[in-house]
């Protein structure tokens, strides 16, 4: 799937890796499209992705971090094959977003990002998060790192409001203070339900945001975040249902340990307007 050449990760494959699909499918907000390349920022690190004749090249200041970040040791041909074997109706969605990979993002950044995402739109979420980087993060070369917990603790509720967070400003402020006494790195050893129980204690983290954090930071595929778009998908493919808890239960029951993957293909396809 890939090889390492100095500070580059070389991917000779265009079927299971597509930066547009990966970055624009809604799982991440800290990236920019610049002419011929995508630039991705995660925690304090940065990677640039360009297309080559046979695939893509990722240039980065931390090769190991981004091999894990892009989940390059998982075989997505197998993922898609297994998904389609049991769920034929996903074919159009998987063909549309064939290059999606579920990222393994920084835990703290993902918690803050998805608190900001609640009842918000992607353009504004992105703007607010880059604002948080610029105001509280360290300057590294030509970009700003995502602030550490210690750095973000310096922010006031008014600071976050000024950045456009609206009523979520208090959630960010409160959650930072709750996280002082929490070692979320140890949560990796817990069951999905137990991690979710911990996440739900955080201010601004409800069932949907918790599922996003589990999927995009803890690599738990047995969750199905249900938002306004997935509700539309459900009402289109399955039956009319407005209770999101019920929708989630039915979807996880159907997709089981492939729920997270299915969710991303469907979310990306639905948002494209091609459904």
Partner DNA sequence: TTCCAGGTGCATA
Partner DNA sequence: TATGCACATGGA
Q: By the criterion CB under 7 A, which residues form the site for DNA?
A: 25-27, 117-125, 161, 164, 166-167, 171, 202-210, 212, 225-230, 243, 245, 263-264, 267, 271
CB of 25 to DNA, least distance (A): 6
Give all strands (DSSP E) within 73-226, no chain letters.
Answer: 139-140, 143-144
DSSP for residue 53: S
Q: Which is nearer to DNA, 9 or 159 (CB)?
A: 159
- Of residues 60 and 110, the one with the C-beta less far from DNA: 110
CB contact at 8 A, 243 and 207:
no
Q: One of 8, 186, 208, 256 is an active-site residue; which one? A: 208
Whole-Å CA distances, 238 to 224, 230, 232, 249, 254: 15, 11, 10, 13, 11
| C-alpha pair distances (Å), 229 with each of 118, 154, 240 | 13, 35, 14
Alpha-helical (H) ranges within 180-257 are 192-199, 207-216, 228-237, 244-255
- Residue corresponding to tokens 């400003």: 169
208 is catalytic: yes
Decide if 46 contacts 62 (C-beta within 8 A): no
Q: From the CB of 144, what's the least distance to DNA, in Å?
A: 21
Q: Smallest distance, Å, CB 56 to DNA?
A: 21
Question: Which strands, in side-by-side order, build the sheet including 2-5?
Answer: 2-5, 8-11, 56-60, 45-51, 37-42, 31-34
* 93 or 210: CB nearest DNA: 210
Output 143 or 265, the one with its CB closest to DNA. Answer: 265
Pick between residue 9 and residue 100 the one whose CB is nearest to DNA.
100
We find the least distance from the C-beta atom of residue 207 to DNA, in angstroms, to be 5
Nearest 5°: the CA angle 44, 29, 11 is 75
Name the residues annotated as catalytic.
208
């Amino acid at each position: 799937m890939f090889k390492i050449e100095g500070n580059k990760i070389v991917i000779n494959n265009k079927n299971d890796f597509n930066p547009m699909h990966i970055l624009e499918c809604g799982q991440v907000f800290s990236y920019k499209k610049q002419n011929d390349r995508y630039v991705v920022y995660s925690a304090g690190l940065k990677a640039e992705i360009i297309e080559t004749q046979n695939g893509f090249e990722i240039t980065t200041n931390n090769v190991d971090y981004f091999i894990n970040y892009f989940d390059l040791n998982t075989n997505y041909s197998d993922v898609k094959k297994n998904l389609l074997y049991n769920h034929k109706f996903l074919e159009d969605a998987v063909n549309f977003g064939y290059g999606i990979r579920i990222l393994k993002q920084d835990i703290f950044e993902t918690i803050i990002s998805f608190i900001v995402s609640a009842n918000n739109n992607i353009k504004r979420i992105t703007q607010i998060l880059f604002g948080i980087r610029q105001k509280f993060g360290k300057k590294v070369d030509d970009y700003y790192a995502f602030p550490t917990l210690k750095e973000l603790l310096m922010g006031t509720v008014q600071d976050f409001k000024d950045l456009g967070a609206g009523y979520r400003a208090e959630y960010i402020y409160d959650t930072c203070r709750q996280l002082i006494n929490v070692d979320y790195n140890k949560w990796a050893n817990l069951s999905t339900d137990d991690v979710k129980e911990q996440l739900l204690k955080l201010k601004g983290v409800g069932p949907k945001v918790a599922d996003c954090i589990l999927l995009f930071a803890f690599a738990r595929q047995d969750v199905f975040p249900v938002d306004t778009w997935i509700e539309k998908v459900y009402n289109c493919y399955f039956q009319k249902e407005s209770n999101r808890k019920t929708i989630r239960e039915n979807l996880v029951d159907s997709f089981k340990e492939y729920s997270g993957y299915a969710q991303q293909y469907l979310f990306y396809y639905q948002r494209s307007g091609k459904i």
